C-alpha cells in the first residue's frame, strides 16, 4: 500500500544524494538511480523544451539545459504510470514561479502547513536533504523560479540583498540550481532609506545609484538570480506613491538596476485603498488594480513583469477574471494564483483548484507569458498540511507547463496514480471527491459571487458581516430586500473595465453567469433565477447541499479505511471531520443571516435557526 506523503507524487523515486552539478547531470543521476536506459543530449537552443524518443532498447532525451531534466522526470513518471513516454513538449509559460510568503522568524503568512521551510528565529535554517527533495519536486513539474521570502518584507528579510545575508542566499541558490530553479528575492522598496539615504524616490539619482550598487553585489553572489519581487504601495508597504511617482517610475528604477544581469523585476499589482469608508459608495475596490495600472501601458521597461492576481479582489472562492489581465497589451504580465487556501479552506477543507483555473483560462483570450502561485507549503511532514492538498501543487506545475492544453481531470488521475500507486483501487472514488470539492466548498460558504463573509484576520469560518463595516472595501451591503453590489453602468461602473463582449454579458443579470450574479449585481431576494427558484431559495439550497456534500466527503473517506496507509487515513480523517463542522457552521450562520433579514422560510422546511 502506497502513499508516502513525504515524497509527494514521487514516492517511487530512487536515492541520488544531493546534486550540485547541472540539471543535465541531475537528470543522468535520476535515470541511473532508477535503472532507466536513456541518453541525454543537451541542445541549448531548445531552452526548457524537450523531446523523448525511443532509442534501441532505451530512450533518448533531447532538450535545453533544464529541458533534459524535465524530460527525465517525464520519462520516469510516465514509465511508472505505464504510459507511453515518447513525446515532445514546450512549456506554455516562460517563468513558472512559486512565491513563498515566509517570514524570517519562521512564520508563514497565510501558511497552513507548519512553519517556514527556509527560516527560523530570523536566520536561515533548513534541512538540506529536504531542500534537495524540494528541488526535485519542482523540476518534476517544470517550476523554474521561486521567491523565498514574503512580499511583506520585514526585518531582517530586507537584508537578503545585502552583504549580511547574501552568503546564505547563495547557498540556497546553489542547491536549487541543480534542479533548474532560480531564485527571486522579495525586496523592500524603502531599503535605500533603511540603509541610510534620506529618500527612496525613484527619480532621485542617488536612489538609482544605490540599487545599481546593490544589484551588482547580489549578482556577484548569485549570478543567475531570476530577479526581484515587489509589493509596493499595498497594504501599508512603502512605494513610489510616497514620492508622488507612478508605478512605472517606481518599477523601472529597479528594472534598470537588474537589466545588465538579465534580471527581471516582478511588480505586484495588488494596490488598493485599504482604508476605505464603508459609508462611501463611490469607491469600489475591484476597480483599483485597473485604475492604478492600465493608463501606464507601454511605460514599463522590457524586463518588468506585472504580477496580477487572477481576480480583482483577493483569491475569493469565485471572482471574475481581473480586468487588468485583458488590458495593457504593451506590458509583460504574469497571472498570480494562490495555492495556499487562504479563503478556500486553509488546507483543512478539501479544495482541488483545477476547475477554477480552467474557468480563468476559458475567460481569457490571451494567456500572459508568465505565471505564479503563492505556495501551500510548510515544514509539515507531508509538506501541505492536508495530504490531498499536494495535488494542487502538482496540478499547478502541470497547468503552468501545459497552458491551454492542461486537463485538470487527467492531471488528477496522474497525481493519484503517482501518489497512491498506479493500481490504487480507490482511484475513481478519490477522483470524484476531489473534482467536486470546489463546488462543494463554494456552496456552503459565500456563494453566487458574494465572497468575504469570513472571520476577520484568520479568514477561516463564517462571519457574514465580518468585513462589512470595515475599511478593506469588501462589502456586500445586505439588507432586508437585497444583497450584492451594483457594478454595472448604473452602479460603480466596474463592468466598463472589461472588453465590450464581457462587459455586455456581465451588465445584464439575465446573461451574467449566475455564479457571479451577486458580484456584479445588487439583487432582490425574490429575483427569479434561471431554474425558477428565487435567489433566496438558491442561497438556502446551496448551503444545505454544500453541507450534505461535505458529509458525503467524510463518508467516502471513511469508506477507504484499510485501503489507505493508516497514518495518511487518520491524518486526513481529522481534516474531513473539521470540514463537516465548518460546513455546518457556514450553513447555519449564512441561512440564519438571510432568514433574519427576510423572514422567508426555506421552501423545503429544513431547519434554519432564528
**Contacting residues toward ligand GCV, per CB under 6 A:** 101, 109-110, 151-152, 231, 270, 314
Nearer to ligand GCV, 118 or 527 (CB): 118
What is the signed CA dihedral for 274, 277, 280, 285, rounded to 10 degrees? 10
Q: Cβ of 195: how many Cβ atoms within 10 Å?
A: 12
Minimum distance from residue 111 beta carbon to ligand GCV (Å)? 10
Q: Is 465 a catalytic residue?
A: no
What are 347's three cell numbers?
Answer: 488546507
- Nearest alpha-carbon partner for 498 in 273, 270, 287: 287
Q: What's the CA gap between 519 and 318, in Å, rounded?
A: 9
Classify the phi-psi angles of 106: left when phi > 0, otherwise alpha if psi is within -120 to 50, otherwise beta.
Answer: left
Q: Cβ of 329: how many Cβ atoms within 10 Å?
A: 9
DSSP state of 44: G
- Nearest alpha-carbon partner for 201 in 236, 171, 243: 243
Minimum distance from residue 315 beta carbon to ligand GCV (Å)? 7
Query: What distance, in Å, lies between the first and last C-alpha atoms of the chain?
Result: 49
Minimum distance from residue 280 beta carbon to ligand GCV (Å)? 20
Q: Are 580 and 551 in contact (CB under 8 A)?
A: yes
What are 427's three cell numbers?
Answer: 482511484
Q: What's the CA gap between 459 and 473, in Å, rounded?
A: 15
Nearer to ligand GCV, 99 or 507 (CB): 99
Q: Is 235 a catalytic residue?
A: yes
The b/e string for 385-403 (b: 16+ C-beta within 10 A; e otherwise) is bbbbbbbbbbbbbbbbbbe
- In three-state secondary structure terms, 169 is helix
Q: Which position has the grid cell 506585472?
A: 306
Nearer to ligand GCV, 270 or 460 (CB): 270
Burial class (CB in 10 A: 0-12, 13-18, 19+), 128: exposed
Strand residues in 219-347 grouped as ranges (E): 227-230, 264-268, 304-309, 333-338
Minimum distance from residue 456 beta carbon to ligand GCV (Å)? 11
Nearer to ligand GCV, 438 or 459 (CB): 459
Nearer to ligand GCV, 151 or 254 (CB): 151
- In three-state secondary structure terms, 108 is strand
Minimum distance from residue 339 beta carbon to ligand GCV (Å)? 13
Q: Cβ of 330: how many Cβ atoms within 10 Å?
A: 9
Nearer to ligand GCV, 271 or 395 (CB): 271
Q: Is the dihedral of CA 213, 214, 218, 223 positive or negative?
A: negative
Q: Which position has the grid cell 507569458?
A: 369
- In three-state secondary structure terms, 194 is helix
Out of 163, 174, 224, 235, the active site residue is: 235
Out of 188, 314, 414, 442, the active site residue is: 314
Q: What's the CA gap between 142 and 588, in Å, rounded?
A: 43
Which residues, listed in sequence order, are joined to residue 123 by a DSSP beta bridge? 120
Nearer to ligand GCV, 101 or 525 (CB): 101
Nearer to ligand GCV, 73 or 460 (CB): 460
Nearer to ligand GCV, 314 or 349 (CB): 314
Nearer to ligand GCV, 207 or 325 (CB): 325
Nearer to ligand GCV, 231 or 370 (CB): 231
Q: What's the CA gap between 610 and 607, in Å, rounded?
A: 9
Bridge pairing between strands 227-230 and 264-268: parallel
Out of 89, 342, 379, 414, the active site residue is: 342
- Nearest alpha-carbon partner for 323 in 356, 358, 360, 357: 360
- DSSP string spanning 556-591? HHHHTTTTS-HHHHHHHHHHHHHHHHHHHHHHHHHH
Q: What's the CA gap between 121 and 268, in Å, rounded?
A: 27
Q: What's the CA gap between 274 and 146, in Å, rounded?
A: 28
Q: Is 121 a catalytic residue?
A: no
Active site residues: 235, 314, 342
Amino acid at each position: 500500500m502506497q502513499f508516502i506523503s513525504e515524497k509527494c507524487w514521487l514516492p517511487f523515486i530512487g536515492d541520488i544524494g544531493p546534486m550540485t552539478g547541472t540539471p543535465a547531470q541531475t537528470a543522468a543521476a535520476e535515470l541511473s538511480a532508477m535503472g532507466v536506459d536513456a541518453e541525454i543530449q543537451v541542445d541549448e537552443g531548445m531552452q526548457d523544451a524537450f523531446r523523448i524518443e525511443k532509442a534501441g532498447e532505451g530512450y533518448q532525451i533531447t532538450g535545453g539545459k533544464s529541458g533534459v531534466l524535465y524530460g527525465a522526470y517525464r520519462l520516469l513518471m510516465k514509465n511508472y504510470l505505464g504510459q507511453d513516454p515518447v513525446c515532445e513538449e514546450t512549456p506554455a509559460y516562460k517563468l513558472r514561479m512559486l512565491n513563498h510568503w515566509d517570514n524570517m522568524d519562521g512564520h508563514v503568512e497565510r501558511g497552513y502547513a507548519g512553519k517556514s521551510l527556509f527560516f527560523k528565529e530570523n536566520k536561515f535554517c533548513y534541512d538540506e536533504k529536504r531542500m534537495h527533495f524540494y528541488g526535485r519536486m519542482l523540476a518534476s513539474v517544470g517550476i523554474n523560479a521561486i521567491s523565498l521570502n514574503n512580499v511583506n518584507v520585514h526585518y531582517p528579510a530586507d537584508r537578503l540583498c545585502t552583504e549580511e545575508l547574501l552568503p546564505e542566499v547563495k547557498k540556497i541558490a546553489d542547491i536549487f540550481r541543480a534542479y533548474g530553479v532560480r531564485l527571486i528575492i522579495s525586496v523592500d522598496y524603502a531599503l535605500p532609506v533603511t540603509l541610510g539615504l534620506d529618500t527612496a524616490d525613484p527619480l532621485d539619482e542617488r536612489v538609482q545609484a544605490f540599487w545599481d550598487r546593490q544589484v551588482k553585489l547580489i549578482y556577484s553572489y548569485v549570478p543567475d538570480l531570476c530577479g526581484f519581487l515587489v509589493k509596493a504601495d499595498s497594504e501599508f508597504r512603502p512605494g513610489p506613491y510616497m514620492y508622488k511617482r507612478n508605478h512605472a517610475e517606481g518599477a523601472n528604477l529597479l528594472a534598470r538596476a537588474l537589466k545588465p544581469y538579465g534580471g527581471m523585476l516582478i511588480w505586484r499589482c495588488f494596490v488598493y485603498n485599504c482604508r476605505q469608508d464603508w459609508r462611501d459608495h463611490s469607491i469600489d475596490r475591484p476597480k483599483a488594480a485597473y485604475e492604478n495600472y492600465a493608463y501606464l501601458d507601454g511605460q514599463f521597461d522590457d524586463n518588468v513583469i506585472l504580477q496580477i492576481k487572477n481576480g480583482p479582489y483577493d483569491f475569493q472562492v469565485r471572482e471574475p477574471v481581473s480586468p487588468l489581465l485583458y488590458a495593457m497589451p504593451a506590458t509583460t504580465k504574469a497571472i498570480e494564483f494562490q495555492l495556499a487556501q487562504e479563503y478556500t479552506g486553509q488546507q483543512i477543507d478539501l479544495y482541488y483548484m483545477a476547475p477554477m483555473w480552467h474557468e480563468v483560462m476559458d475567460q481569457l483570450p490571451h494567456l500572459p507569458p508568465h505565471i505564479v502561485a503563492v505556495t501551500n507549503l510548510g515544514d509539515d511532514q507531508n509538506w501541505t498540511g492536508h495530504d490531498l492538498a499536494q495535488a494542487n501543487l502538482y496540478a499547478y506545475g502541470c497547468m503552468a507547463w501545459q497552458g491551454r492544453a492542461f486537463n485538470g481531470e487527467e492531471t488528477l488521475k496522474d497525481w493519484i496514480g503517482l501518489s497512491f500507486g498506479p493500481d490504487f483501487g480507490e482511484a475513481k472514488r478519490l477522483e470524484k471527491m476531489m473534482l467536486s470539492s470546489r463546488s462543494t466548498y463554494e456552496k456552503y460558504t459565500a456563494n453566487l459571487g458574494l465572497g468575504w463573509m469570513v472571520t476577520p484576520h484568520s479568514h477561516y469560518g463564517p462571519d457574514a458581516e465580518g468585513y462589512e463595516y470595515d475599511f478593506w472595501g469588501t462589502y456586500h451591503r445586505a439588507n432586508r430586500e437585497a444583497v450584492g453590489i451594483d457594478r454595472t453602468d448604473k452602479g460603480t461602473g466596474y463592468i466598463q473595465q472589461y472588453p465590450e463582449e464581457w462587459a455586455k454579458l456581465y451588465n445584464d443579470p439575465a446573461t451574467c453567469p449566475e455564479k457571479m450574479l451577486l458580484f456584479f449585481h445588487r439583487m432582490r431576494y425574490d429575483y427569479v433565477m434561471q431554474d425558477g427558484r428565487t435567489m433566496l431559495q438558491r442561497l438556502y439550497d446551496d448551503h444545505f447541499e454544500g453541507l450534505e456534500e461535505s458529509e458525503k466527503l467524510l463518508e467516502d473517506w471513511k469508506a477507504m479505511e484499510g485501503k489507505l496507509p493508516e497514518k495518511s487515513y487518520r491524518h486526513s480523517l481529522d481534516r474531513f471531520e473539521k470540514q463537516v463542522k465548518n460546513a455546518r457552521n457556514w450553513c447555519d450562520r449564512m441561512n440564519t443571516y438571510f432568514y433574519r433579514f427576510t423572514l422567508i422560510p426555506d421552501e423545503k422546511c429544513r431547519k434554519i435557526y432564528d
